[in-house]
Structure 1
Amino acid sequence: MNVNFKIGFAVSALVSAIVLTACQEKPEPQAEQVTAAVKTVALIEAKIERVELPKKQFCDEDGCTQYDFQNVKTNLDWIDAYFLDRMKKDVPMAFSVDAHQTQTASDVAVTSPKGLNQNSIYVRFISQQYNLATFVIQSYTYVAGSAHGMQHNEFVTFDLNTQKRLALTDILKPNVEAKVAEQLYDANASWLTQHDITRDKLQLSDNYFYGVNGIVFVYPLYELAPYAEGMPELRLPYQIAKDLVKAEYLPALPQIKADQPVKQEN
C-alpha cells in the first residue's frame, strides 16, 4: 500500500511539472533578431534644391560661363553627397572662391563679345525597385557662338543595401558582355539597320537604367544617330536579360505559363 502511494505521488508530481513547464512564457527574442526580421529597404523621398554657388558665373581670359546646378534632397544623406561631390569634381571652377573672379554681368560684353557660355547640371530621381534606386544627371553645355548646345543624360543606379553605385559590370554575370551586345542588337535590329549600324559596330554602353519592360542602354549624341534624334536608347527585354544579369540585380518578373501567348510590343 505504501509502495503504491509513493508511485502515485511520483506520477502526480511529474504531471504537475510538465503542466507548469508548458504554461511558462517563452523568453522574448533577442533585440537583434527582431530588428533583422523587420528591417526593410528605405523608400526614397526626393525633392529638388538649387545648389548655392560662390557666384553664378565664372570669368577668365577666355570669357564668362554662367552656371545653374540643381541637386536632389533625399532622406539618404549619402546619396545627396554623392551627386554634390560629382558636381565639384566635374566643374571645380564653379565652386571656386578665388579673389580674381570679380567680374559681373555688366563685364560680359567686354570679356566675351559673343555672349555667355552656359553650363547646367540637374539631378533627378527616376525610380526605385526595392533596393535599386535610379537617378539621372542631366547636363547641358553651350559655348557662346556655337550652333547649338550639348546635352547628356547619365543614369546612376544605387544598391541601397550596400550604398554602392552599380556599374554595368556589377550587374552582369561574368563574361557575358559579347552575348549582351548580340542580344541587344537582335532586340533593336530594325532601328539599327535603318541607321546603318552593323552588328560589329554596336558597342555596349555603360550608361544604362532599369526601364518598365527592360534594361535600357543609353548612347551619347552623334554615336548612333544624328544630333536631331537626341541620345539613342536601346532596350534589352527582361525576358532576355534574365539569363545575363545576376539574379539579385534583376527586377521581379511576371510568371508566364508555357501555353500563355506573350503580347508583342509595337
Structure 2
Amino acid sequence: MKINRFKIFRVYLVFLIGLGILGCQPQSSSVAIPETDQNVQIETEAVPLKGAAKVVCEIEGCIRFDLQTVDTNIDWINQYFVERIQHTEPVAFIKVIQKNPKKAHETHYLDQRTIKVEFMAQRAHLATFALKSSNLPRNHAQPMTHTEYINFDLQQKKRLALHQFLFNGSEQKLLEVMYRANAPWLNKQGIQLQQLKLSDNYYFDSSGLVIVYPAGELAPTAAGMPELKVPYADLKKVIRPEYWAILQQTTS
C-alpha cells in the first residue's frame, strides 16, 4: 500500500513540475516576429568607400582612386559591396610609402581607377545593382570600362547566379531561344549557336532577360559590352516558378 502511494505521489509531482515549466513559456501572441529583408523596400545612397586612399604612389608611378559604394538599409548588402571593392582594388587599402609623391600631380605617371555601385531595381524580394568600373592607364586617351550586374535574393540573403533562376537542365533551351531572338546581330558577327555560351552577367528589365558579355567577346572591343535580350514570352518554360511569379509582374 505504501509503495502504491509513493508511485501516485511521484506521478503527481512530475505532473506539477511539467505544468510549472509550461506556465513559464511565453504565449505565442507575445512573440515579436522580426521583419525580414524580403519585406523591406530598399533605400540607397551613394557614398565614398571609407578607408580607401585617394592616391597611392610607388616607384613606377601613382594610382588615383575614386571608389564609391552604396549605403542601404540592409547591412549584408552594404558589406557585400565593401568586400567586393576591397578585393578588386586591394592597393587602395594598403598603406604604401609614397617614395615619389611628386608623381601624384603628373598626368603621365598616373593611372586612374573608378568604381561606383548603383541601385537599379527591386521586384518583391529580388534586387539588382550595377557595379561599374573604369580604368584609365597612364598615357591613354580612353578608359577601359566594365559593368557587372548583381542580383540578390533578399529572402535567401545571397547573390543569384543565372542558373539559379532556371529549371535544372534548361541552360541549352535558354541558349536556343536567346540565339533565335538575336539571330540577325549574331549572324552579322559570324557567331553560330554552338559557339554561344551563357554569361553570368545579366539583369531583368521591363521587356525580359538581358545577358551581358565583356567587350571584345562577341564583337570588336570598340563596340563595348554586347547585350543579348530574351523576351519574357520566351522565358516562361525556363525560369523557376517562384521567380517567374515575380518577374511576370514586370510585364503587366
TM-score of the aligned structures, taking structure 1 as reference length: 0.76
Distance in 2 of aligned mates of 1:54 and 1:146: 24
Q: Residue 164 in 1 paired to residue 138 in 2?
A: no
Letter aligned with residue 74 of structure 1: T
Secondary structure of 1:114's counterpart equals: helix
Give the structure 2 partner of residue 44 of structure 1.
Answer: 42
Give the structure 1 partner of residue 235 of structure 2.
Answer: 241
Distance in 2 of aligned mates of 1:145 and 1:242: 49
Q: How much does 1:189 deviate?
A: 0.8
Distance in 2 of aligned mates of 1:144 and 1:207: 28
Distance in 2 of aligned mates of 1:107 and 1:86: 28
Distance in 2 of aligned mates of 1:149 and 1:37: 43
Q: Percentage identity across aligned positions?
A: 36
Distance in 2 of aligned mates of 1:71 and 1:92: 15
Give the structure 1 partner of residue 20 of structure 2.
Answer: none
Give the structure 1 partner of residue 98 of structure 2.
Answer: 101
Q: Residue 223 in 1 paired to residue 217 in 2?
A: yes
CA contact (8 A) 1:54 1:97 kept: no
CA contact (8 A) 2:115 2:134 kept: yes
Q: How does 1:7-22 map to 2 (within 5 A)?
A: none
Q: How much does 1:84 deviate?
A: 0.6
Residue 210 to residue 142, structure 1, CA distance change in 2 (3 Å) = same
Q: Residue 151 in 1 paired to residue 145 in 2?
A: yes
Give the structure 1 partner of residue 188 of structure 2.
Answer: 194
Q: How much does 1:101 deviate?
A: 3.3
Distance in 2 of aligned mates of 1:113 and 1:78: 38
Q: How does 1:113-132 map to 2 (within 5 A)?
A: 114-132=108-126
Letter aligned with residue 242 of structure 1: K
Distance in 2 of aligned mates of 1:31 and 1:253: 38
Secondary structure of 2:109's counterpart equals: coil
CA contact (8 A) 1:45 1:75 kept: yes
Secondary structure of 2:108's counterpart equals: coil
Letter aligned with residue 112 of structure 2: Q
Letter aligned with residue 48 of structure 1: A
Letter aligned with residue 249 of structure 1: Y
Q: How does 1:71-82 map to 2 (within 5 A)?
A: 71-82=69-80
CA contact (8 A) 1:132 1:157 kept: yes
Unpaired segments ≥5 residues, structure 1: 1-27, 257-266
Give the structure 2 partner of residue 86 of structure 1.
Answer: 84
CA contact (8 A) 2:37 2:154 kept: no
Distance in 2 of aligned mates of 1:87 and 1:249: 28
Residue 102 to residue 153, structure 1, CA distance change in 2 (3 Å) = same
Q: Residue 142 in 1 paired to residue 136 in 2?
A: yes
Secondary structure of 2:41's counterpart equals: coil
Distance in 2 of aligned mates of 1:213 and 1:163: 26
Letter aligned with residue 91 of structure 1: E
Q: How much does 1:78 deviate?
A: 1.0
Distance in 2 of aligned mates of 1:55 and 1:87: 13
Give the structure 2 partner of residue 55 of structure 1.
Answer: 53
Residue 113 to residue 234, structure 1, CA distance change in 2 (3 Å) = closer
Q: How much does 1:247 deviate?
A: 1.3
- Larger proportion of helix: 2
Letter aligned with residue 234 of structure 2: I
Aligned-residue Cα RMSD (Å) equals 2.6
Q: Residue 206 in 1 paired to residue 200 in 2?
A: yes
Distance in 2 of aligned mates of 1:139 and 1:38: 31
Q: How much does 1:37 deviate?
A: 11
CA contact (8 A) 2:37 2:155 kept: no
CA contact (8 A) 2:178 2:229 kept: yes
